[in-house]
Structure 1
Amino acid sequence: MAEASISVDQDQFICSVCLDLLQDPVTVPCGHNYCKKCITDVWDFDKKGIYRCPSCKQSFAPRPGLGKNLVIAEMVEKLKKTRSQAAPPASVHTGSGDVQCDSCTGIKQKAVKSCLECRSSYCQNHLDQHESLFRGKGHDLMDVTGRLQEMMCSRHGKILEIYCRTDQRCICMLCLVDEHKNHDTVSTSAARTEKQKHLGETQIKLNQKIQKKEKDIQELREAVASHKRSAQTAVEDSEKIFTELVRFIEKRRSEVMKMIRDQERAAVSRAEIKLERLEKEINELKKRDAELKQLSHTQDHVHFLQSLSSASISLSGSTDGYSVSPHLTFSDVVNSVSQFRDKLQQFCREETEQMTETGRFICIHSYLFIKCEFPLDMRINLQMCFGVCSENHPGHHCS
């Protein structure tokens, strides 16, 4: 005999608590089916000893026992097999920062709405199931949030919908009639409006401060850029001036060296001429001395007297008026160069001190910025000191 085919609505096997296929299904006395864990958790949470059916709200006392519904369990297993053989529906998996669906088993899907009454977030599939079960039953939906537990009172498990101004915190309705009785309270929406106004004023002040700081930053950057340009110009100008000074000193050094060498050659030349003359005179004198020695040994008296008379005449006509200093020095030149060096060093020290005193230190808000100003006549002073002519002073003559 052929087995009869019965069409069954899958929604009949959905747990109204977790909104997923029944797991270990049990039946409560009113006939509704739930996952054993789901209905146990619901009843364990109720501390008042009143056990209601989440679907029809029928209450039971005492707490009824829970027996496994074998028929429903078998049909759920067949339904799971049918689902696994069917093509998986298109879904959106959770990514970084997304809220997961609390009802999905296996791979969690991205939640699209949250229910404060159920304290759960649902993907689109489980949201449709939730709406079919609880539409019109006071289950308000809100934009998905991962802060559901923070929005519930940790003491009473109710939504935080009251703001206590006295204690500056959010409370639930049960808190209002309990420890917050006679406190200054408003709804969270009203408190939000008040705080939002204050927040707006704070944001305006913050934006003004940000704009002021950004302006300060811009001014500081422009000042730094200007300082760098000024410093670069000063470096280039100073380098040019010092190059001119070095060139001038090199020229003067060459002139002094040439002067010393010229004087040396002139003195040596004069001395060599005198030496040559003296050597000739010495040779003549030696020749006369030899003749006199020979004459002193002659036996011819007449010849002796005649020769001695001519020799005496020759001796009386000799010249020996040469005057040459044996210690020729250039100490005067060295002293002049030393004085030039001392004056140069002294001038450099004085100008350096003047440049240091001229530099101005400017404090801009919370930073220290140094602005250096060099005397406009510094280059002119240096040129005039060392005899370097300037185009700005055509009437100046180098000394």
Structure 2
Amino acid sequence: MAAVGRVRSEDQFLCSICLDVFTDPVTTSCGHNFCKSCISEHWRVNVPYQCPMCKEVFNLKPQLKINTFISEMVVQFRHEAQHEPNIYSSDQQAAKPGEVPCDVCTEPKLKALKSCLVCLTSYCQTHLEPHRTVPALKRHQLIHPVENLEDRMCRKHDKPLELFCKTDHTCICHHCTYSDHKGHDVTPLKDEHEEQKPKLKKTEAEIQQMIQERRLKIQEIQRSVKLSENAADRETAEGVEVFTALIESVQRGLDQLLEKIQEKQRSTEKQAEDFIKELEQEICELEKRSTEVKQLSGSEDHLHFVQRFTCVKAAPSMKTWTKVSVRPPSYEGTVERAVSELEDKLREDMKKVVKAELKRVQQYEVDLTLDPDTAYPYLILSDDGKQVHDGDEKRNLPNKPQRFSDFCCILAKQSFSSGRFYFDVQVKGKTKWDLGVARESINRKGEIRLRPQFGYWTIRLRNGNEYDACAGPPVRLSVKSGLQKVGVFVDYEEGLVSFYDVGSSVLIYSFIGCCFNDKLLPYFSPCTNAGGTNSAPLIITPVDTDFTVKSRVKALERSFRRPAFLEKLVIYLLS
């Protein structure tokens, strides 16, 4: 009850201009009370002189004097307010961080209940009361408490932003309609709010859909990471198994090599020991004869001398050591033979280990068909779209944008912008061809330059036996004669394009570190017939499972043949 009484008492001492307790209260002739400074400032700005409450007009500026009665009541009220511990109702609380405080309260500032767009002030329940009781203030626009009320005022005219200009999509005041926004499509903010509010639901739905899409993408990425992790664990386990077997094989080969060398050394040492023992025995016998010779030479017994001289003079039965020697054993070819035996063993082991891995690679085979809309007009395609050759005569075909106009080539219908893919092409009987992949955006009219910087990753055959990788400048390739089938493998994310000799199971060449920022299409060029010497077609063929296994095995075998590779393994095992 004390709180209610206090609110009623305070209402009687509020200035309707500043909405605060009177300071030096004065009374106009019409009977209304104001702070002296407030009414003086009001009349200084507004002429003619008018009462802010009842709008009565005074011809002359009234002489204002302090109302002593009200002044004393104000003093008494302030005194009571300072000594009253609970001066506010229980629902009024001090403003917390993040809440809008009352602009009128002194410390502590209470939480604002409303903000006035006319006064540009936020009020607590107590200081808001005049806006609920005073007729002039009741017309003010109250909103939920907000900060920075000055942002709701037109910076140019210092008036509330109450309109929305649809022409310029901005909030304006009434004065703006007579200046910068004159003639524009203008509507009250309330109407624009009602018009835009239904659209907000659609926007919210779109935002929620975008959130859901991104959450699904996160799940997709997480699944991809999990699959990658599982694949990495699987590859790690297989890699450890392969290289453990490799290290064991190399260790066994090294042990056998060292055993052979030591065996030769032991044989040499045994031979030397036998020779030395035999020589020492002969030296012992010769030393005995030497002693006898010395004794005989000092004998004066003529009979004894003559009898013993014949025995001493006789040559002993001993070996001739002039041509006898101990030569160090020859180790020439020992290491080479050991490495060769190791290669044979590794060949057998790797065929067993790699087979499972190569089966997974085969899953990247794709079924390709040639695209007749891209074919050079001289090319002839088979009905199934798997073969192409030069027909010697130009056909009357529409000059479509995707058709090659000046170069004897064609693309596949299928394109790839991610992942991995593999295909085989038969080149048997040809003396000239180009194969590989190309960007979808390549230039197909006029001269073509087969280089990665122009969107081509290819290899080629010229003159029947000259193979090059079109890497700019070309790289001469070492390829055995009789190449009949070429395998092409692409890993889009890794930027890898590899070419295989299917028949001999050899990696021909790899483009690595490629930057693919466009769709890729398989590229084929059977080249011209060259008078019939190059009339055989290029043929897209199914993958031969047996070849795939052999190819990977051969590639690994070549790695094991490298001296530097074996040297590092030996150093590792001896360290």
TM-score between both structures, scaled by the size of structure 2 = 0.51
AA aligned opposite 1:125 = T
1:27 match: 27
1:38 aligns with 2:38: yes
Asked if structure 2 preserves the Cα contact closer than 8 Å seen for 1:163 and 1:191, the reply is yes
Q: Residue 41 and residue 284 in structure 1: after superposition, are their counterparts in 2 closer, same or farther (change >3 A)?
A: same
Q: Which runs of 5+ in 2 are unaligned?
A: 1-7, 351-487, 496-514, 516-548, 562-575
Shift of 1:276: 2.7
The 1:68/1:187 distance shift into structure 2, 3 A limit, reads: same
Answer whether contact 1:112 1:143 (CA < 8 A) is retained. yes
**Structure 1 residue corresponding to 2:51, chosen from 44, 50, 53:** 53
Match of 2:18 in 1: 18
1:230 counterpart residue number: 231
CA shift, 1:92, in A, is 0.8
* SS of match in other structure, 1:331: coil
Per-residue CA shift, 1:97-116, capped at 9, x if unaligned?
A: 22222332443211112333
Q: 1:362 aligns with which of 462, 485, 493?
A: 493
SS in 1 for 2:134: helix
The Cα shift of 1:324 comes to 3.6
The equivalences for 1:234-383 within 5 A come to 234-285=235-286, 287-288=288-289, 294=296, 304=306, 315=315, 319-320=319-320, 324-332=324-332, 335-337=333-335, 340=338, 360=491, 362=493
- Matching residue's letter, 1:70: T
Q: Secondary structure at the match of 1:150?
A: helix
Distance 1:152 1:269, change over 3 A: closer
CA drift of 1:318 comes to: 5.0
Counterpart position of 1:108:
109
CA distance in 2, matches of 1:289, 1:151: 135
**Does the 8 Å CA contact 1:101/1:111 hold for their aligned counterparts?**
yes
Alignment RMSD? 4.6
The Cα of 1:217 is off from its aligned counterpart by 3.5
Q: Shift in Å at residue 42 of structure 1?
A: 3.6
Q: Deviations over 1:308-337 (max 9, x none)?
A: 66667x6386554896433223433xx422
Task: Provide closer, same or farther for how the CA distance between residues 323 and 89 of structure 1 changes in structure 2, counting only shifts above 3 A.
Answer: same
Distance 2:156 2:282 in 1: 138
Give the alignment of 1:104-143 within 5 angstroms.
104-134=105-135, 137-143=138-144
User: What displacement does 1:339 show?
Assistant: 6.3
Structure 1: gaps (5+ residues) = 1-7, 352-356, 369-373, 386-399
Indicate if the aligned counterparts of 1:27 and 1:67 stay in contact, CA closer than 8 A: yes
- Distance 1:158-1:311 versus aligned 2 partners, 3 A rule: closer
Per-residue CA deviation, residues 236-267 of structure 1 (Å, 9 max, x unaligned), is 44334333433333333333333333333333
Q: Would the aligned equivalents of 1:22 and 1:34 in 2 still touch at CA under 8 Å?
A: yes
The Cα offsets for residues 66-118 of structure 1, whole Å up to 9 and x where unpaired, read as 33222321221122223333343243111112222233244321111233344
Larger RCO (alpha carbons 8 Å, 6+ apart): 2
Higher share in strand: 2
Distance 1:55 1:318 in 2: 154
Q: In the superposition, relative to structure 1, how do residues 37 and 276 fare at CA in structure 2: closer, same or farther (>3 Å)?
A: same
- CA deviations over 1:37-72 (Å, ceiling 9, x no partner): 3323444554xx233322212223444343322232
Deviation sequence 1:102-151 (CA, Å, 0-9, x none)? 33244321111233344432211223343222389534433222343333
What is residue 388 of structure 1 aligned with on the other side? none
Which digits, 9 at most, give the CA deviation of each residue in 1:321-361, with x for residues without a partner?
896433223433xx42266569989x9xxx9xxxxx98945
Equivalent residue letter for 1:336: T
SS in 1 for 2:86: coil
Give 3-state SS (helix, strand or coil) of 1:362's partner.
Answer: coil
CA 1:344–1:77 in structure 2 vs 1: closer, same or farther (change >3 Å)? Answer: farther
Where does residue 390 of structure 1 map in the other structure? none
TM-aligned CA distance change 1:207 to 1:340, over 3 Å? farther
In the alignment, the residues of structure 2 paired with residue 242 and residue 202 of structure 1 have an alpha-carbon distance, to the nearest angstrom, of: 58
Paired amino acid for 2:276: L
The percent identity for this pair of structures is 31
Q: Secondary structure at the match of 1:243?
A: helix
Q: Which moved more, 1:83-92 or 1:199-208?
A: 199-208
Partners of 1:207 and 1:190 lie apart in 2 by 27
Q: Secondary structure at the match of 1:34?
A: strand
Is the Cα–Cα contact under 8 Å of residues 32 and 55 in structure 1 kept in the other structure?
yes
- TM-superposed CA distance for 1:25, in Å, is 0.9
1:192–1:344 CA distance, 2 compared to 1 (3 A): farther
Inter-CA distance 177–60: structure 2 relative to 1 (3 Å threshold): farther
| Deviation readout 1:278-323 (Å, 9 max, x if unpaired) | 333344455556667848988858984x7666667x6386554896
Q: Contact conserved, 1:14 with 1:22, CA < 8 A, in 2?
A: yes
- Cα contact 2:114–2:124 (8 A) shared by 1: yes
CA distance in 1, matches of 2:232, 2:288: 83
3-state SS, counterpart of residue 67 of structure 1: coil
**Which AA in structure 1 matches 2:31?**
G
Q: Distance in 2 between matches of 1:189 and 1:268?
A: 112
Q: Judge conservation of contact 1:19–1:130 (CA < 8 Å) in 2.
A: no
SS in structure 2 of the partner of residue 218 of structure 1: helix
How far off is 1:36 after superposition?
A: 2.1
Instruction: Give, in whole Å, the separation in 1 of the partners of 2:269 and 2:246.
Output: 34
1:171 shift after superposition: 3.0
**CA drift at 1:195:** 4.2
Kindly report which structure 2 residues correspond to 1:164-179, keeping only aligned pairs within 5 A, or say none: 164-177=165-178
Mean Cα deviation higher: 335-344 or 86-95:
335-344
Number of residues paired by the alignment?
A: 358
- Mapped contact 1:271–1:324 kept (Cα < 8 A): no
Shift of 1:32: 0.6
TM-score (norm 1): 0.70
Larger Rg: 1
- CA displacement, residues 172-195 of structure 1 (integer Å, 9 cap, x when unaligned): 334435664433211212323444
Partner of 1:148 in structure 2? 149
Classify 1:141/1:276 alpha carbon distance in 2 versus 1 (closer, same or farther; 3 Å): closer
